[in-house]
Amino acid sequence: MHFVFVYGTLKQGEPNHYLLENDANGVRIFRGKAKTVNKFPLVVASRYNIPFVLDCAGTGLNIQGEIYEVDDAMLGHLDKLENHPTSYTRTAQEFEIISSSNVEDIKVGDVIKGGIYLLKNFKEELLQLSFLETYEDQAYVKPWERSSKDPWIGDVQNFPAKN
């Protein structure tokens, strides 16, 4: 089993949460709400309004999200959605539990090490955008609503994107 921190469209109530809810994808156990111990820049960018945590520890805010414990099968589905390791890289970080799921072994204040999907290859100009502490759906364009000939990664590697 692996701990994974989700901060964007995989959170409860967000468009890609269905992936975690689908039992056919594997095991997932919600462990609680958490925040990053390190500060990171969470931005919304690209023509698809995608949330990105930029791989720039120490810059930004302590990002709030959710911690899940997942099996290898579910981790594989998450990696596929995040296009790990090509677009995002799942990176080990520490997360402080801020709201527990009432599981006895994980309590508020505990620090858990788990994976977070970071965008490593980005234009420095993205650091000029407003940083968020918490992501909420911001006109996010779902993957199946995008043109397959129009990949989002170019938007952040060549920021600012030309629309």
Rounded to the nearest 5 degrees, what angle is found at the Cα of 40, between the Cα atoms of 36 and 46? 120
Which residue's entry shows tokens 């994980």? 106
Q: Kindly state the tokens that stand for 13.
A: 């109530």
Q: Give the active site residue among 14, 66, 69, 82.
A: 82
Contact call for residues 141 and 46 (beta carbons, < 8 A): no
Cβ–Cβ < 8 Å for 42, 32? no
Q: Which helix (H) or strand (E) holds 36?
A: strand 28-36
- Is 125 one of the annotated active-site residues of the chain? no
What are the catalytic residues? 82
